[in-house]
Each structure stands twice: as C-alpha cells, then as structure tokens.
Structure 1
C-alpha cells in the first residue's frame, strides 16, 4: 500500500487535535521562585576540604595581623561566642545598617558609639535623644568636637 493512501486515515485521526495545534502557544509559566539554599551539614559533617575553605581566609588574616590586632580578633571571637542568638542577630542587623551608611554617617556612628561606650544606660538614652533632635549641621559640629576613637592597628 502506498503511503499517500494512509493520508486520509492520518488526517482523520489528527483532526480533533488540529484546532489545539493552531492555537497560539500558551505564555511560558512564570519562573519558579529562587530555590532555597540546600541544607548544609553541621560543622562536624563538613569535609576537611570544606572546613579548610572556610578557615583559610581567617588564618591568612590572623597571620598577617600585628599582635594588637590579633588580641582584638580573639576578644571579638570570645565575645561573639558569649552572645545569645538574639544579641547576635541584633549585631548582624547593626552591621548591615552600618554597611549601607554614607562615609559621613559612619563617622557619626563611630563618634556616637565611642562616646556612649563609657556611659550608663540613662546617659546613653539622653545622648541618643539629644542626637535625634540635632540638625545635620549640629551633628557635624558635635562630631568635630567629639571625634570617633582612633582605629586600632
């Protein structure tokens, strides 16, 4: 039998599907939301290579730091370990906020923090309220008169 003889049969079988084939293509489905990061194992379950990739930058930083900076790094690590999860989250939020500040805002934050460091909680609250009432020019003058502490080396 010649293949052309099958054409009517083939068309008869495909006829119900032809209108659907003539329809414009459906719009593409929206891209799925970004997949959540994979569950990563606890430290004890990391491979030695994974641990090394995490520790290496800190090792280099430690080895290149002068003794006083090493002392501060160790103190910071010990302080972090002593923090509650809520305190750690508060510190992370503060760091994110600091990273988005302008250089002038950072200098002001350092100056305020430096002044508040030795104050009692009521004194800190009073300074914070006074700061919020200051104009930008008054804040610049205040920072000039109360510069941030020198950065440790």
Structure 2
C-alpha cells in the first residue's frame, strides 16, 4: 500500500460534519482543511458565542424538535436574517427596484452565525457577499481554527 495521504481541502458548502464527514468516517477525515464562513452549530468551539445562544433560543421556540447539529437549519437562519435586514433597509419603499438596491448595497453586515469578523458586502456590480473565510482543520469530531481570517482577492 502506498499510504499516500494528500492534503484535502473542502469548500464551505461541502465541509459539513454531519452531511459529509460523518458519513465518510471521522477516521478518514482527520486533517481535512475547510474554508468556513459560518459557525457550525454542532461544534463546541462556538457554543458560548452570542450568535449561537440566540440561534439555540430561536430553535427552542420555533423548531423544538430540530437536530441542533444540522447546519441546514443554520444556513436558513442566516439567510432569513439577511433577507429581513434587506427588507428593513427598504423602509416604506418596498418596491422591486429598492429591494434590489438594498440587496446590492450591503455594507459590513454581520449576519448571525457568520464566523466572527466575516461580514456581508455587495455592490451593484458585485453580488458575491462573502469575501472572507476562516481556514479550519478537522480534528477528532470537529473543526478547529487555523490562523486568522483570510480575505479573497
């Protein structure tokens, strides 16, 4: 056997512990590096953050039977909070044009459950809201932070 173990990198959308790494087997996932933008609700690293406490309270109230480690709920929570922010920014002008204007004018919006320091920013010519990420290494049954936030060029 070659015993060859190349470094594996996962994008933010493929790095779910519950949906990707657990089914593949934690033993084979050790050392995987992931580009993370959101905090993982199943990772104890984030358990004491304000965002996580508010998110868990939300689940307790509105989705009491939810699997707390299922990051699909967390993705929806972040997306809904961002949509609500855009609608609030519209004020009384809830037109298609103004909604598009507000959605393409996000400035340093710290949506809930984003890794601390990551903010959403858009412009009329750049709809990609996230330009930062946290490199994370899988160890044991969870990811751990590697270094500081990185910014895409």
TM-score for both structures, normalised by structure 2 = 0.25
Structure with more of its chain in helix, by fraction: 1
Structure with more of its chain in strand, by fraction: 2
TM-score for both structures, normalised by structure 1 = 0.25
Which has the larger Rg? Answer: 1
